[in-house]
Amino acid sequence: MPENSLYGPLDPAPDAGYVDAPPRMGFFTDTSVCIGCKACEVACKEWNNVPEHGLDLLGMSYDNTGGLTANSWRHVAFIEQPVSRDRLADRGTGVGGQAGNQPPAFAGMPTTTVAAPESAVAAATTGKETGTEPGVVPGPEPAAAAPATTQFLGMPSSVLPGQLPGGERTDFRWLMMSNVCKHCTHAGCLDVCPTGALFRTEFGTVVVQEDICNGCGYCISGCPYGVIDQRKGDGRAWKCTLCYDRLRDDMMPACAKACPTESIQYGPLDELRERAAARLEHLHGIGETSARLYGNDPEDGVGGDGAFFLLLDEPEVYGLPPDPVVPTRDLPEMWRTAGKAALTMAAAVAVAFLGLGRRR
Amino acid sequence: MAECHPVGFQWAMAAKERGAKIFHVDPRFTRTSALASTYVPIRAGTDIAFLGGVINYILSNELDFREYVLAYTNAATIVSEDFRDTEDLDGLFSGYDPDTGVYDPVTWQYQGHEPQAAARDTVIERETASPLQHESHGPGVSWRVDRDETLRHPRCVYQILKRHFARYTPEVVEQACGIPREKFDEVCRAWTENSGRDRTTALVYSVGWTQHSVGAQYIRTGAIIQLLLGNIGRPGGGVLALRGHASIQGSTDIPTLFNLLPGYLPMPVAQLHPTYSDWVTSICHPKQKGFWHHAPAYCASLLKAYWGEAATPDNDFCYGYMPRLTGDHGIYKQVFDMIDGKIKGYFLMGQNPAVGSMNGRAQRLGMANLDWLVVRDLFEIESATWWKNSVEVETGEIVPTECRTEVFFIPAASHVEKEGTFTQTQRLLQWREKALDPPGDARSDLWFFYHLGRIVRQKLAGSTLPRDRAILDLAWDYPTHGPHDEPSADAVLREINGYDVKTGLTLRTFGQLRDDGSTVGGCWIYCGVYADGVNQAARRRPGGEQNYVAPEWGWAWPDNRRILYNRASADPQGRPWSERKAYVWWDGKKGCWDGYDQPDFEKTKPPSYRPGPDAEGVEAIAGDDPFIMLGDGKGWLYASSGLLDGPMPTHYEPPESLVRNPLYGQQANPVRKVYDRPENITHPSPPEPHVGVYPYVFTIARLTEHHTAGGMSRYVEHLAELQPEMFFEVSPELAAERGLTHLDWGHVVTARGVVEGRVLVTDRLTPLPVADRVVHQIWLPYHWGPNGWSRGDSANDLGGMVLDPNVLIQEGKCGTCDVRPGRRPQGRELVTYLNDYRRRAGILESHHTPIITTDTAAESYRQGRPDK
């Protein structure tokens, strides 16, 4: 246990002062069984009365939501991922398409030259502006306009789909992942909220109270994941509540309820972590060696997430920051530094007055 | 499946988690492919070549489940010596008549059965899609057959099948389908290794699979594989049809089809069934095995449900009131009849043909020539507004101020705003309660029809005209409730179930239906859904509280059996094939069949039972005949009757193709139904010239985010925004070839129409090497139209109407086209643009591809008529 509540592992609800708090509740989103149906997005909007995000064809595979915003509290990312032959050879049978000891999806397909440069350029853009700005992800730049490279960085790559720069058709897989607010143990948004609109619930989740939020926007820069967002024409901040109202009635959050393949699992966080560890072991066992958990570690930069994930590749591939850190982590250190500076300043001032006094 | 059946796909995922391998075969790499163990790309329209290759692999390596095949299929049955295969006739079977374009199936019969088929009129059968009735009706075949249990007789079904599919080699599969050898081998190995005593494999298709000019034969090919491998009637096996909507199974059980009555009873045909006894006899097939023998009881009870007290044995239960078929009244023929002014009025319920049906322009031109049109839907769909905002208004073909059709739009209640049942793909009826009242004037379909009937009857009351008797004598007395006099759906279900006229008690099983007018039954196969006066479809006992078959969740027809023909899950002696796959079995001590499911067999008939020589009907079913609805009690590897385009599936190219049939001189299905009209032009196809004018292949399909023609999704913001605009997908290679740019406009051209949309360049599509060329495929979702939140062109405007002869379904999933960058021309320029393409292709006026492309037709004809 660290010396303060701003960093490191802790149970947030008791820490926030709840006596006899229920177990901490959360999501475990297992992307290895996500089928990209977007039922979570729709169920969330229906239950929480979230307005539409707008009719924008983004060209980012089947993702026309763009990201987590004030008007999209669940977001399904679609990643069309070229997979090099070498890498395929490392993978066993398993999830997410083809694998090492099976013929790859497009084995034997004709290989042709790369498309026209103008096609390649257009293929790398992300289309029109979205209705609300998609959450801006800190960390590496989204790959939209990145220079040509064989490494796949996220959304549409600079290389034409299905092509390596050499012009040969690669093998391929299609990843899908339902993203959501992480309900961090140390929530940057909550820590910086000046009005108390953001609060920690008895379930350990983080919720904005719409009738208190004054739209100052501090929380937006406080979120290391770029999740919380201001609604245009409204100004207030909005994000996933983990269906706080449903939880209080002992009901499952809408997205988890709607998920047909149990990609979104809801439950006590301890239980979910156990389940996730077992699932990961299973996937590793069948050769899905690049599978990993994300946000499950209480020692990470946000003290672990209340909503964590099983990913089939590096977090950057999904547009997630690899090593998120709550900005308030350094608050004590900053205060100490500030304090020292203030003392130094005070001393300097004192010295100055002393000097004056002496001169007098 | 993940794409259109995400809720059902959870079980495929659950199976995968338990170690099942999932193979996905599709021209497109979809969400299903993404989650499958192996994706197999295929050229659209070549599935019989692919599956035929699997059959060849099974037979040439003798990997069939021999004990099952011998006992439960017609593999050993000897076929007529007059039969000639496509092997002998370059793609035609014996008996083809080039004048009528149909086969005389006499030579296809089992040895000694030839005279039975002589009386059939296959021209009428094609016009009325009569093979569709065989969905459960079962075509006529006597059970007294010659068999060779060694399977060595050159004319036994097994040997005929083996010869027929011998040329479907892996090389042919590679050439025809574009499937690499290693992928094909992987499928063959997995399918055969995972079938047998201990294991079963399921074949799952979505109904797009049926939408081909050889659609019924696609399913047949899959069924042959499943029979050969012993995967029918057993847990984890089967051929599973995923239906396109919530209750499409229900809408064939209690049909919305022109040629069927409830329970797959055939609609009477004027020329063939002038009397009640003609009609009933044609169904019950005297001298056959099986439960169709009781058809008189099913028919009488149905007519009693229609006409109640007025229907008596003396007046043939009012059979005279029944409408009769006089020919093809299928949906496409209706469209042309509308264009020709033969149909004056039309009801559209929950259907949006202006967007959802093939050849959208013909659909809209048809509706524009009606006197009146009633559209009942949740929103003001395109089929109600084509007169003011369709492409034809743009081109001047429909002028709003002059269009004479009077359109009545009537708001309908959605599925959560009314009560009733859904019947899903497993034939499971599930009752649902009304969750909330429909808004405003929206009402349930039941309300609409009941009160429409009531008012029509009121208006006719007192009429003495004989023609009005059919309406006035109807039993139209459903109880109503609530402020809007909503009829009781519960009472309707009770009538469908059936009851005893005297006591009013509901029946428990269709065996209790009688042919003497003492019972009422609206749909014989649904008898039992209201057993004991209880709505069995409303049962919701959780799966955890019962065995894994979950017989107390909802109710499945017939008799709550969850797997049809499940007698086949036990061996001929009645023992489970294996412990692992035990499902139903003969319990010698109790003297009855037992198991996890309701046995699809007479409960106390022992495996050792053998019928006497004169037995017929149910009595003739032997104790080891699992296929109790078929005339010989066997699963059919070879269909001597029932299909109009051949006893065995044969690869034909789609009517519009880029390549010559790699297997036979006969290019496309020789029995396909063609409507040769200027609204319905077919592109040149090999061996014709000018194929290159439309040099690509297109396929049309659905996305998860939208529902069919968009009536339930494009008008709802939260759904519309998920796929906000019409687009189509091309491979990077095709994009390069045609200068198409990701997210820019592009358009797809056929002789029927031009459709524009945004281009999605994706490596989920791949060019296929086929024969000596590369075939590029484009896929378009068909959800859009000019109304709603999310709008765009309708992809179905591209397709034509060339039909499967058996069930009259359209070749909707592959055709040829051109694709161009940029937006399509507007207004009159669009017509000029279309005509320019047609001029270059030589099809300006009217065109359909030649039916016969081999010179063996005369020989085939002579073979069918030995006396000529």
Average pLDDT in chain B: 94
The SS3 assignment for B373 reads strand
Query: Among residues 94-153 of chain A, which lie with CB inside 8 Å of chain B?
Result: 95-99, 102-103, 105-110, 112-116, 118-119, 122-123, 125, 127
On the CB side of B821, CA atoms within 13 Å amount to: 14
Which has the closest alpha carbon to B524: B559, B553, B555?
B559
Q: Is B763 in Cβ contact with A163 (below 8 Å)?
A: yes
B777 is a domain residue = yes
What's the token pair of residue A12?
Answer: 């947030």
Pairing of strands B592-595, B584-587: antiparallel
Number of domains in chain B: 1
Nearest neighbour of A37 by CB, restricted to B704, B761, B790 = B704
Mean pLDDT of A268-278: 97
What DSSP letter does each residue of A150-191 carry, written as one string? SS--SSS-SSPTTB-TTSPBPEEEEEEEEEE---BSS-HHHH
Nearest neighbour of A35 by CB, restricted to B9, B740, B744 = B9
pLDDT digits (tens, 9 = 90+) for B796-838: 999 999 999 999 999 999 999 999 999 999 999 999 999 999 9
Q: Which of B92-106, B182-196, B617-631 has the lowest mean pLDDT?
A: B617-631
Q: Is A116 in Cβ contact with B736 (below 8 Å)?
A: yes
Q: What gap in Å lies between CA A182 and CA A179, rounded to an integer?
A: 9
pLDDT digits (tens, 9 = 90+) for B57-71: 999 999 999 999 999
- Residue-level pLDDT at A114: 38
Cβ(B358)–Cβ(B801) under 8 Å? yes
pLDDT digits (tens, 9 = 90+) for B680-714: 999 999 999 999 999 999 999 999 999 999 999 99
Mean pLDDT of B472-498: 97
* A118: chain B residues, CB-CB within 8 Å: 741
Q: Print the domain residue range for B778.
A: 673-841
On the CB side of B323, CA atoms within 13 Å amount to: 10
Nearest neighbour of B29 by CB, restricted to A36, A46, A105 = A105
Task: Tell me the residue ranges of DSSP E strands in B85-141.
Answer: 96-97, 102-103
Whether residue B642 has pLDDT greater than 70: yes
Task: Return the percent helix, strand and coil in chain B, to nearest 5.
Answer: 35, 15, 50
* B744: chain A residues, CB-CB within 8 Å: 122
B752 is a domain residue = yes
Q: Is A42 in Cβ contact with B31 (below 8 Å)?
A: no
Nearest neighbour of A80 by CB, restricted to B735, B764, B768 = B764
Q: What is the pTM of this model?
A: 0.91
Average pLDDT in chain A: 80
- Residue-level pLDDT at B119: 64
Q: What gap in Å lies between CA B657 and CA B682, rounded to an integer?
A: 10
Q: What percent of chain A has pLDDT above 70?
A: 73
Separation in Å, CA of A175 to nearest CA in chain B: 7
Which has the closest alpha carbon to B371: B331, B333, B342?
B342
Q: A interface mutation test: which of B763, B766, B776 has the most A CBs within 10 A? A: B763
B712 is a domain residue = yes
Nearest neighbour of A57 by CB, restricted to B29, B182, B725 = B725
Q: A interface mutation test: which of B35, B181, B703, B734 has the most A CBs within 10 A? A: B35
- Residue-level pLDDT at B129: 77
Which has the closest alpha carbon to B236: B548, B606, B658?
B548
Cβ(A207)–Cβ(A106) under 8 Å? no
Q: Which residue of A has its CA nearest to B713?
A: A42
> What is the complex's ipTM, to 2 decimals?
0.92
Count of CB contacts below 8 A, A vs B? 189
pLDDT digits (tens, 9 = 90+) for B557-611: 999 999 999 999 999 999 999 999 999 999 999 999 999 999 999 999 999 999 9
The answer, for B7 touching chain A at a CB cutoff of 8 Å, is: yes
* B22: chain A residues, CB-CB within 8 Å: none
Q: What gap in Å lies between CA B715 and CA A312, rounded to an integer?
A: 36
pLDDT digits (tens, 9 = 90+) for B204-242: 999 899 999 999 999 999 999 999 999 999 999 999 999
What secondary structure letter does DSSP report for B261?
A: E
Separation in Å, CA of B795 to nearest CA in chain A: 18
A328 pLDDT tier (thresholds 50, 70, 90): confident
Q: Which of A153-157, A349-353, B124-128, B325-329 has the highest mean pLDDT?
A: B325-329
What's the token pair of residue B266?
Answer: 């055939």
Q: Is B724 in Cβ contact with A56 (below 8 Å)?
A: yes
Query: Among residues 239-298 of chain B, which lie with CB inside 8 Å of chain A?
Result: none
Q: Is A107 in Cβ contact with B182 (below 8 Å)?
A: yes
Q: Which residue of B has its CA nearest to A37?
A: B704
- Residue-level pLDDT at B867: 60
pLDDT digits (tens, 9 = 90+) for B512-527: 999 999 999 999 999 9
Separation in Å, CA of A122 to nearest CA in chain B: 5
Pairing of strands B802-803, B673-674: antiparallel
Mean pLDDT of B113-124: 74
The answer, for B705 touching chain A at a CB cutoff of 8 Å, is: yes
Separation in Å, CA of A107 to nearest CA in chain B: 7
- Residue-level pLDDT at A359: 56
Give the position of tokens 């049109």: B373
* B725: chain A residues, CB-CB within 8 Å: 55, 57
The answer, for B821 touching chain A at a CB cutoff of 8 Å, is: no
A275 pLDDT tier (thresholds 50, 70, 90): very high
Q: Is B10 in Cβ contact with A55 (below 8 Å)?
A: no
Which has the closest alpha carbon to A295: A111, A107, A26?
A26
Separation in Å, CA of B31 to nearest CA in chain A: 6
Q: Is A118 in Cβ contact with B764 (below 8 Å)?
A: no
Cβ(A316)–Cβ(A322) under 8 Å? yes
Mean pLDDT of B157-175: 97
- Residue B696, domain CATH: 2.40.40.20
CA dihedral of B686, B691, B695, B701, whole degrees rounded to 10: -60
What's the token pair of residue A23?
Answer: 């177990």
Q: Is A102 in Cβ contact with B37 (below 8 Å)?
A: yes
Mean pLDDT of B174-201: 96
Domain at A12-325, CATH from 3.40.640.10, 3.40.50.1820, 3.30.70.20, 1.10.1660.10: 3.30.70.20
- Residue-level pLDDT at B123: 81
- Residue-level pLDDT at B124: 81
On the CB side of B524, CA atoms within 13 Å amount to: 26
Q: Is B35 in Cβ contact with A107 (below 8 Å)?
A: no
B795 is a domain residue = yes
The answer, for A331 touching chain B at a CB cutoff of 8 Å, is: no
Q: What gap in Å lies between CA B844 and CA B837, rounded to an integer?
A: 8
Q: Is A97 in Cβ contact with B736 (below 8 Å)?
A: no
Q: Is A261 in Cβ contact with B34 (below 8 Å)?
A: no
B173 pLDDT tier (thresholds 50, 70, 90): very high
- B146 burial class (0-12, 13-18, 19+ CB within 10 angstroms)? middle
- A36 burial class (0-12, 13-18, 19+ CB within 10 angstroms)? buried
Cα angle: B563, vertex B66, B590; to 5 degrees = 50
Cβ(B128)–Cβ(B120) under 8 Å? no
pLDDT digits (tens, 9 = 90+) for B417-463: 999 999 998 999 999 999 999 999 999 999 999 999 999 999 999 99
Give the position of tokens 């599969």: B173
Whether residue B336 has pLDDT greater than 90: yes
What secondary structure letter does DSSP report for B845?
A: S
* B2: chain A residues, CB-CB within 8 Å: 35-37
For residue B558, cis peptide bond before it (omega within 30 degrees of 0)? yes
Instruction: Check residues A238 and A333 and name the one with the higher pLDDT.
Output: A238
- Residue-level pLDDT at A356: 63
- Residue-level pLDDT at A143: 29
The answer, for B743 touching chain A at a CB cutoff of 8 Å, is: yes
Q: What percent of chain B has pLDDT above 70?
A: 98
- Residue-level pLDDT at A104: 52
B857 is a domain residue = no
Query: Among residues 242-271 of chain A, which lie with CB inside 8 Å of chain B?
Result: 260-262
Separation in Å, CA of B758 to nearest CA in chain A: 9
The answer, for B742 touching chain A at a CB cutoff of 8 Å, is: yes
* B28: chain A residues, CB-CB within 8 Å: none
pLDDT digits (tens, 9 = 90+) for A75-101: 999 999 877 655 544 443 334 444 334
Instruction: Check residues A44 and B17 and name the one with the higher pLDDT.
Output: A44
* A54: chain B residues, CB-CB within 8 Å: 721, 724
B828 is a domain residue = yes
Separation in Å, CA of B163 to nearest CA in chain A: 30
Q: What gap in Å lies between CA B314 and CA B516, rounded to an integer?
A: 10
B121 pLDDT tier (thresholds 50, 70, 90): confident
What's the token pair of residue B569?
Answer: 């899950």
Nearest neighbour of B37 by CB, restricted to A55, A93, A262 = A93
Instruction: Check residues B125 and B866 and name the one with the higher pLDDT.
Output: B125
Nearest neighbour of B742 by CB, restricted to A102, A107, A119 = A119
Instruction: Check residues A146 and B803 and name the one with the higher pLDDT.
Output: B803
Whether residue B643 has pLDDT greater than 50: yes
Whether residue B868 has pLDDT greater than 60: no
- Residue-level pLDDT at A94: 39
B305 is a domain residue = no
pLDDT digits (tens, 9 = 90+) for A184-236: 999 999 999 999 999 999 999 999 999 999 999 999 999 999 999 999 999 99
B732 is a domain residue = yes
- B194 burial class (0-12, 13-18, 19+ CB within 10 angstroms)? middle
Task: Tell me the residue ranges of DSSP E strands in B692-792.
Answer: 696-701, 727-730, 745-749, 754-761, 768-770, 773-775, 777-781
In Å, how far are B338, B756, B776 from B354, measured between CA atoms? Answer: 14, 17, 28
Nearest neighbour of B6 by CB, restricted to A35, A59, A108 = A35
Q: How far is CA B716 from the centre of its chain?
A: 30
The answer, for B771 touching chain A at a CB cutoff of 8 Å, is: no
Query: Among residues 149-208 of chain B, which lie with CB inside 8 Å of chain A?
Result: 180-183, 186
Q: Is B739 in Cβ contact with A52 (below 8 Å)?
A: no
